[in-house]
Amino acid sequence: IGMGNATPDFFGGLKDDNKARYASSVTALNVITGRPRWSYQTVHRDIWDYDVAAQATLVDIETPQGNIPALVQATKSGQLFTLDRRTGKPLTPVEERATPRGAVPGEILAPTQPFPTTLPSLVPPELSEASMWGLTPFDQMWCRARFLDLRYEGMFTPPSVQGTLYYPSSVGGVNWGGVSVDPERQLLLVNVNRIAQIWTLIPHSDKDKALADAAAGGKAKKQPMQEQGYYQEQAGTPYGVALEMFLSPLGVPCTPPPWGVLEAFDLKHKTRVWSKPLGGTRDQSPLGIDVPLGTPNFGGSLVTRSGLTFIGAAAENRVRAFDSRTGAMKWQADVPAGPQATPMTYVENGRQYVVFAAGGSAMLGTRSGDYLIAYALPGQH
């Protein structure tokens, strides 16, 4: 099971290491006794809300010593951990690397964080002023100015009263959809978010003024991906926290597209096979303009033995199928609501069906509904 991060989310000075040893980890339980068999922590003293939202995916890894029963755990921080599912030990090297320091008074940071080193990282290149993006030169300049106002020293930069930029954000990286595996082709498929958030620690004595300033600046109005100006009290700590997506005044991410991708990895050779933008702008654009820039996404993929990968997930009312080996899109269909869920498949009377749940996502701004839609695959023999 994937474990949540220990509360409070964004301040760790009061966290008990003994109580939080299972936080932000993948943990195996003995099904007879319910007791932990083993646990592997993906983030130490997590103050970034990088809880393990995705389920682990089981796969047998081909090695020169034979097949090893493994699991792949994807994380919000964009890491892929490959563990021996019998023991919880990493099957590929993991480095403990020093991460940014300089936290607020009272905070206690872990000195290092784990980084898998064999499979390519899902984390995109670090942000810079030059990498800020905009639909127009004006909102690009706004994003650059906002970037320079924030604290950002790469992944695991600690929260600050100045305002810290988080990339990947607590949305992910990889959220609850996780990864899917084609065991015959030894391929791993995963959809990834590439959007940033701003988190600002606010001393409780300054809360009323800070929230009033945010409302006056327009940060309290709703955006398609998240309500701006969201505030979390963090009771019992010295700080509350204000969260917002890193969006331009037009409501578009300041980070460069694609904002969501679907990627394939070769598990045997530990290489990235292909990477494609996932999703278009049609259902988010006021004019219905459809550009395949890749969108934020929730929900995972389904891989079939024939070599197809089915997925909804993107911030639009559309589902697709891709060639698992090449990434070529083979099929797409419109659905009446947002398909932000992992599809499933079944066989009846010798014919295979793929089912999508289309319920919508308030965070992604897709249409709500209560549909289950089954598609039959042609050419069954």
Instruction: Enumerate the active-site residues.
Output: 49
| Rounded distance between C-alpha atoms, residue 157 and residue 169, angstroms | 11
* Residue whose pair of structure tokens reads 């911030």 in the numeric block: 315
Q: Nearest-CA neighbor of 374 among 316, 333, 340, 330?
A: 333
| Rounded distance between C-alpha atoms, residue 10 and residue 18, angstroms | 18
Torsion of Cα atoms, 29 then 32 then 35 then 39, to 10°: -20
* Residue whose pair of structure tokens reads 């755990």 in the numeric block: 73
Amino acid in position 159: P
Q: Are 84 and 70 in contact (CB under 8 A)?
A: yes
Q: Nearest-CA neighbor of 254 among 171, 172, 198, 214?
A: 198
Torsion of Cα atoms, 213 then 218 then 223 then 227, to 10°: 20
Q: What DSSP assignment string belongs to 281-339?
A: STTTSTT---------B-S-EEE-TTSEEEE--BSSSEEEEEETTT--EEEEEE-SS--
Residue 34 C-beta-side C-alpha neighbours within 13 Å: 0
> For residue 92, what are its two tokens?
């590929």
* Residue whose pair of structure tokens reads 């992992």 in the numeric block: 342
Q: Nearest-CA neighbor of 152 among 130, 125, 127?
A: 127
